[in-house]
Amino acid sequence: MADSLDARRVPQDANSAFRGRQTRGRAQPAVPQGSRNGRISPLMSADPLIQVRDLNKHFRMFRRREGVWGAVQNLFVREYQTVEAVRHATFSIHRGEMVGYIGPNGAGKSTTIKMLTGILVPTSGEIRINGLVPFRQRRQYVKTIGVVFGQRTQLWWDIAVIESFKLLRRIYGVSQEDFDARMKRFDEVLGIRGYLHTPVRKLSLGERMRCDLAAALLHNPPLLFLDEPTIGLDVVAKDHIRQFLRAVNREFQTTILLTTHDLDELCRRILIIDHGRVLFDGQLEDLKQRLLRMKQIKVVLRDRSQISALESVSLSGLELEHVDEMTCRIRFDRTQISTADLIRRILASVEVRDLLIEDESIEEIVKRIYAGEAFQELPAQAGPEQAFGNAD
């Protein structure tokens, strides 16, 4: 395990810009052949890249009293309040996985990422990544990771982007030819050449984010952390960055852990966290399968007179919503009534021009999880392959 620090993936693509990444001739293929496409099943390699066990982080917050008298009191006697930002988090992530870490604001996502990147020291619990303990062996450890914080930049604010890149090249000891090759590749995918000579403060958010992504990947780390990488970006830029991440994960088997609160379908595996607890850990598909309860059918009728007939069909506890005079939306619980049955009943009683069956959106499901509803349903249904972090 300790050896694997320098054990880099040998890229398959001979023209790869990332090819030069052998550090002083110690490169060796560390990834099992089967994992080339970046989708490793947990059964394939025995030791995970990231191992987190019973991780806790408590902050002691100074509670301010109100008013003038309160302010005077604050000077002499301080009241503290303990905030449990992360509670009993346990999970592991394998090489080549791309995992989404999802939760509402203040759920503890960023705190977890900051502990995983060695910035914060855990209150208790264990983190082991690539055989290293991030905060204890920080300088050695951070050479093997790339980090992007959506709300911050690691580039120097007042100097041209290229100057920051040159500095990072020195810090990580990247050779000039690797550097040139990677810069060329980043330009191809992210199109950053145009603003390399602009100071960061003059860049738009989208441009800055592209530069930050390039900066985080300059030393071709086997592990990439992203904290809300698409926050505040427009749809086009978001999509651009998603595609780039997918490509990085596929081409270089870079393990990616990203937090977000918009649920794009970027990651196959997701971890849902709220109030510092891991609520769900599993495949996105599984989550859908298990928690998808509500479905809806949009019905476009042939003419207006059919509306009353449709209303009679939906009497049996279904929600009917009028979109316009010809269109209705019926919401139903698929555990109560099967989709096929319902369609049969609709077709039997009304003349329909068009039918559209929609699943509940993932956002809706996650909203139910946060609300605590879905949470109760989960343990009973959980199969053995699914790990539920402390569903107590």
Q: Which residues bind other proteins (CB under 8 A)?
A: 59, 110, 114, 117-121, 135, 138-140, 142-143, 145, 147, 149-154, 156, 158-159, 163-164, 166-167, 170-173, 199, 227-228
Nearer to other proteins, 121 or 371 (CB): 121
Tokens of 296: 């809806």
SS3 2: coil
Burial class (CB in 10 A: 0-12, 13-18, 19+), 235: exposed
Tokens of 222: 């086997």
DSSP string across 131-166? TB-TTTTHHHHGGGEEEEETT--SS-TTSBHHHHHH
DSSP string across 303-317? SGGGHHHHHHHTTTT
Nearer to other proteins, 163 or 180 (CB): 163
CB of 142 to other proteins, least distance (A): 5
Q: Following CA atoms 288, 246, 91, 270 in sequence, which dihedral angle do they give, to the nearest 10 degrees?
A: -20
Tokens of 337: 């009534």
Nearer to other proteins, 139 or 304 (CB): 139
Nearer to other proteins, 156 or 388 (CB): 156
CB of 308 to other proteins, least distance (A): 55
CB of 215 to other proteins, least distance (A): 10
Residues 6+ apart with CB under 8 A from 134: 115, 116, 117, 118, 127, 141, 142
Tokens of 84: 């449990």
Provide the H-helix boundaries in 149-283: 161-171, 176-190, 205-217, 235-252
Nearer to other proteins, 65 or 293 (CB): 65
Nearer to other proteins, 40 or 174 (CB): 174
CB of 169 to other proteins, least distance (A): 8
Nearer to other proteins, 195 or 280 (CB): 195
CB of 171 to other proteins, least distance (A): 4
Sign of CA dihedral 164, 167, 172, 175: positive
Among 131, 136, 126, 141, smallest CA distance to 48 is for 131
CB of 210 to other proteins, least distance (A): 17
Nearer to other proteins, 60 or 344 (CB): 60
CB of 150 to other proteins, least distance (A): 7
CB of 48 to other proteins, least distance (A): 22
Per the listing, tokens 């999802």 go with: 102
**Longest CA span, the chain:** 79
